[in-house]
Copies of this chain bind each other. A is one copy, B any other.
Amino acid sequence: MSKVVAGLRPGGRSARIQEAVHQAVLDLQASMDHAQMTIPLIAKQAGVTPSTIYRRWGCLATLLSDVALAKLQPDSMPQDYGSFQADLTAWFEQYFEEYSSEVGHHLLVDISSNPESDDREQCYELVSQQLQVIIDRAKQRNEPYIEVQLIIEIIISPLIYMILFSKKQLEMDYAHQLLKRLFEDYL
């Protein structure tokens, strides 16, 4: 017997709960200090019981990480500007703008602070997939290119480190310095 026979739509209800809870987290994040967020507050805002959230996400860290990951899903594939350097530059400029904001910092923290979940690995995979699109395009054009892991180590990692561990207000100029090093030393 199918579960749908009784007229229940577990997928639909489940999706609606997820949407309401995600939206509640985003609304609360916009209006209160990050450290004050609790599951009962989120439940109240979403119009569900706390136990609904505990049952589904287990703990606050997993929920926040889940919401952050959903926000980090890129809206589109990296655009084609005709060359490897132009594609990677445009992509990294956008990446820089997203993550160097306060919202971006919170997303990074929510994902990195959940050691039990797969979200951290998924975050790494998301970046890798985006970079691979740019690399595959370069291969089709018979251009020289740089491997994913090296791009991550030379431009992504320093940016994320500076966002997480320094209070320096980063300017786009820093992203361009990192790109210059990558292209001059590794292309």
CB-contact partner of A109 in B112, B158, B185, under 8 A? B112
CB-contact partner of A112 in B62, B121, B165, under 8 A? B165
A106 touches B115 (CB 8 A): yes
- Chain B residues in 8 Å Cβ range of A154: 154
Which B residue's beta carbon lies closest to that of A178?
B153
Q: Is A46 engaged at the interface, CB distance under 8 Å to the other chain?
A: no
CA distance A35 to B58 in the complex (A): 10
Show the binding face of A for B, using Cβ within 8 Å: 33-36, 59-62, 102, 105-106, 108-109, 111-116, 118, 120-121, 123-124, 152-154, 156-158, 160-162, 164-167, 178, 185
Cβ contacts A to B, 24 pairs, < 8 Å: A33-B59, A35-B61, A102-B115, A106-B115, A108-B112, A109-B113, A112-B113, A112-B164, A120-B166, A120-B167, A121-B166, A121-B167, A123-B165, A124-B165, A152-B161, A153-B158, A156-B161, A157-B157, A157-B160, A157-B161, A160-B161, A160-B164, A164-B164, A185-B185
Which B residue's beta carbon lies closest to that of A126?
B165
A97 to chain B, nearest CB (A): 18
CB-contact partner of A34 in B35, B102, B115, B164, under 8 A? B115
Closest 8 CB pairs of A and B: A157-B161, A157-B157, A153-B158, A112-B164, A35-B59, A157-B158, A35-B61, A109-B113
